[in-house]
Amino acid sequence: MYKSVIGLEIHAQLLTKTKLFCSCSTNYGEPPNTNVCPVCLGYPGALPVLNKEAVNMAVKAALVLNCKINRFSSFDRKNYFYPDLPKGYQITQFFKPFAEDGYLEINLRGKKKKIRIERIHIEEDAGKSIHNKETNKTFVDFNRSGVPLIEIVTKPDMESPEEAAEFLKTLRQTLMYIDVNDGNLEEGSLRCDANVSIHKENEPLGTRVEIKNLNSFRFIQKAIKYEIEDQRKKLESGEKVFFETKLYDSRKNKTYTMRSKEELLDYRYFPEPDLQILEIKEEEIENIKSEIDELPVQKAERFMSEYKLSFDDAFLLTSSKYLANYYEKIISHNKLPKKTANWLLSELLRYVKDIDTEFVNPPVSPENFAKFIEKIEKREITGPIAKEILPELLKSKKDVETIIKERGIKSISSDEEILNIINQVLEDNREQVIRYKEGKTKLFGFFVGQVMKATKGAADPQKVNTLLKEALNVSK
């Protein structure tokens, strides 16, 4: 039996307005080469000036990842040739990163595990090559060149593809909570490389293989799983695993070699002479610390103790800061934490495609949704009716009271009214009543259905149940 070992390297784009060493905009999706200047195009003689906002965001991220912040760190040049790298080198922090020795706790179905973080460094992004198949030409867009990133390097602490995915999920959520990253894996604002090795118990770690650019939670799991299996087959047939860099092909569900050991790049790192030593003062760290709000895990734990929610509900509600804020606003109006959580999670979320973005501007105002829940609680509308009007509540932005009035919804709540309807139903279905009496008790559901239909869903189902049972017992 082999044990697998996984370490991740994650690049996260910092949400600054401008680039790391110049004042060009970082806006995504603008026409190619419109956000460029001599600095980020690598013109000779152009000098970089460090963006303080980027450093602050990086420090914030390092703090929530429980890292030690280095008072002094420095920048280095990583040299390599590629068309999307106009300077011929990338500015990064190789010899002395600004943060080290942290951890992030993940929750594996209730079991907690700390994944250690080796280091975090600040670096600039490269441009983007665009390959056009029709013209068989390659174009380069430098809008991304010089955009600020942090690279987070974990220790090889993960043991399965699921753990690696869970780490990435938690990291993404944490960085989004503190507003330093937008969490967009598809657009590349969060990129993940996975290092994978296997070894036998009580033996030293195996040789790792690095898989580059995994851009979805699903692919990261599938790629690692494939790689573990591939290495196992190699070792079992007497072959060796060599260090190499691979890419994952999601269509074929395979990893394949991009660079082998022989092609190992020599980056000829050396200190960047155009930038000063980066000093981060204790008081700056304290200021940044004071800006950090409650984090997802703390929020979930508070939701469980303060609102008596289940682990699953609290976990889901706090998965996005905006969803959590929305929930708390609703219950500040209606003081119904349990019922609100139920309706929010099991009904409203069915109409929401993306929890992360859609609650920045919620589909229905918290006041209106609070009132909606209140009406259910007071039995002014029944569950089935509430479910029926929910889509309109979301789409029309109308007040829940207006919708009820316009649809002419009346709730039938008096026992007398319900009994009248029940008696009518029993009268109309004499044969079924007889069969019920003869022992075909399954027919009870049929009667409930008939009554609910006759009331057009306006009667409280629980009351219908009770009254119907009584009525059937006395009827002949």
Write out the residues near ligand ADP by the rule CB under 6 A. Answer: 5-9, 153-156, 195-197, 205-206, 208
224 binds Zn ion (CB under 5 A): no
* Residue 299 C-beta: closest distance to ligand ADP, Å: 28
Q: Are 117 and 103 in contact (CB under 8 A)?
A: yes
Q: Which of 6, 8, 40, 171 binds Zn ion (CB under 5 A)?
A: 40
Residues binding Zn ion: number (CB under 5 A): 5
For the chain, the distance separating the N- and C-terminal CA atoms, rounded to the nearest angstrom, is 71
Which residue in 7, 411, 22 sits closest to 210, CA to CA?
A: 7
Q: Which residue is it, tokens 């008596």?
A: 308
Q: Which does 63 bind (CB under 5 to 8 A by kind): ligand ADP, Mg ion, Zn ion, none?
A: none
Q: Are 376 and 343 in contact (CB under 8 A)?
A: yes
Taking CA 406 as the corner, what is the angle to CA 401 and CA 412, rounded to the nearest 5 degrees?
75
Query: 111-124 and 99-108 as β-strands: parallel, antiparallel, unpaired?
Result: antiparallel
Q: What type of residue sits at position 54?
A: A
Q: Which does 155 bind (CB under 5 to 8 A by kind): Mg ion, ligand ADP, Zn ion, none?
A: ligand ADP
Q: Which does 37 bind (CB under 5 to 8 A by kind): Zn ion, ligand ADP, Mg ion, none?
A: Zn ion
Q: Are 127 and 24 in contact (CB under 8 A)?
A: no
20 binds Zn ion (CB under 5 A): no
Q: Are 403 and 375 in contact (CB under 8 A)?
A: no
Q: What type of residue sits at position 319?
A: S
Query: 76-79 and 72-73 as β-strands: parallel, antiparallel, unpaired?
Result: unpaired
Q: Which does 22 bind (CB under 5 to 8 A by kind): ligand ADP, Mg ion, Zn ion, none?
A: Zn ion
Identify which of residues 207 and 432 has a Cβ nearer to ligand ADP in the complex: 207
Identify which of residues 9 and 356 has a Cβ nearer to ligand ADP in the complex: 9
Residues binding Mg ion: number (CB under 5 A): 1
Q: Which does 122 bind (CB under 5 to 8 A by kind): Zn ion, Mg ion, ligand ADP, none?
A: none
Measure CA 142 to chain center: 28
Q: Which does 41 bind (CB under 5 to 8 A by kind): ligand ADP, Zn ion, Mg ion, none?
A: none
Identify which of residues 6 and 464 has a Cβ nearer to ligand ADP in the complex: 6
91 binds Zn ion (CB under 5 A): no
Q: Are 105 and 297 in contact (CB under 8 A)?
A: yes
412 binds Zn ion (CB under 5 A): no
- The residue whose Cβ lies closest to Mg ion is 9
Identify which of residues 50 and 345 has a Cβ nearer to Zn ion in the complex: 50
Select from 39-47, 96-104, 288-296, 343-351 the region that touches Zn ion (CB under 5 A).
39-47
Integer-rounded Cα radius of gyration of the chain: 30
Query: 2-13 and 190-200 as β-strands: parallel, antiparallel, unpaired?
Result: antiparallel
Select from 19-27, 62-70, 268-276, 304-312 the region that touches Zn ion (CB under 5 A).
19-27
Q: Which of 12, 20, 22, 452 binds Zn ion (CB under 5 A)?
A: 22
Identify which of residues 266 and 416 has a Cβ nearer to ligand ADP in the complex: 266
Query: 190-200 and 209-214 as β-strands: parallel, antiparallel, unpaired?
Result: antiparallel
- Phi/psi for 92 (5° steps) reads -145, -175
Which residue in 264, 172, 176 sits closest to 214, CA to CA?
A: 172
Identify which of residues 101 and 401 has a Cβ nearer to ligand ADP in the complex: 101
Hey, which residues does 103 pair with through a beta bridge? 116
What's the Cα-to-Cα distance from 385 to each of 115, 372, 380, rounded to whole Å? Answer: 47, 11, 10
448 binds Zn ion (CB under 5 A): no
Window 2 to 41, contacts with Mg ion (CB under 5 A)? 9
- The residue whose Cβ lies closest to ligand ADP is 7
* Residue 273 C-beta: closest distance to Zn ion, Å: 20
Binding site for Zn ion (CB under 5 A): 22, 24, 37, 39-40
Binding site for Mg ion (CB under 5 A): 9
